[in-house]
Amino acid sequence: MTISIGDTIPQATLQKVTLDGPEPVETATWFAGRKVALFSVPGAFTPTCSARHLPSFVEQADALRAKGVDEIAATAVNDAFVLGAWARDGEADGITMLADGNADFVKALGLTMDGSGFGMGTRGQRFSMIVDNGVVTQLNVEEPGEYRVSSAEHLLTQL
């Protein structure tokens, strides 16, 4: 079952990238009590993800916060070390990186994709969402190969 607007974020453990190394976070606790703009990419350092998706959230971070977003987070089926390097490379200091190395979170969301044709295995679909106090209030899932509705610019129009 795919998550929908009005649903509560499912329980999963993600690895938050910190200066001291990966820190496990439980979704129920991490999303509680605040408004989060979350976006998912199929993989750090992949072409569209690095050239367009991450930069859109870096460039629109202040505008998202001005519209009431408390935190901006990215997730991918990569390990925390890869996401940390991607954040440094993309100058994404204001974006929290949440590694979903085993795809547990995207599986629980029902938003996986099969990237085996590209040697990537199970990955998360490209999407964005607003999560307010643990509840999904906006959800934008891209069609395969697309990059439109999951951008920061599109998410801004929904706030």
What H or E segment, with its residue span, contains residue 156? Answer: helix 152-157
49 catalytic residue (yes or no): yes
CA atoms of 56 and 96, how far apart (whole Å): 14
Selected catalytic residue, list 3, 12, 36, 49: 49
Q: Which two tokens stand for residue 114?
A: 């099969």
Which amino acid is residue 134, in one-letter code? G
Amino acid type, 136: V
Please tell me the distance from the alpha carbon of residue 90 to that of residue 108, in angstroms, as a whole number. 28
Integer CA distances (angstroms), 22 to 13, 41, 62, in order: 12, 19, 26
Q: Which residues are catalytic?
A: 49
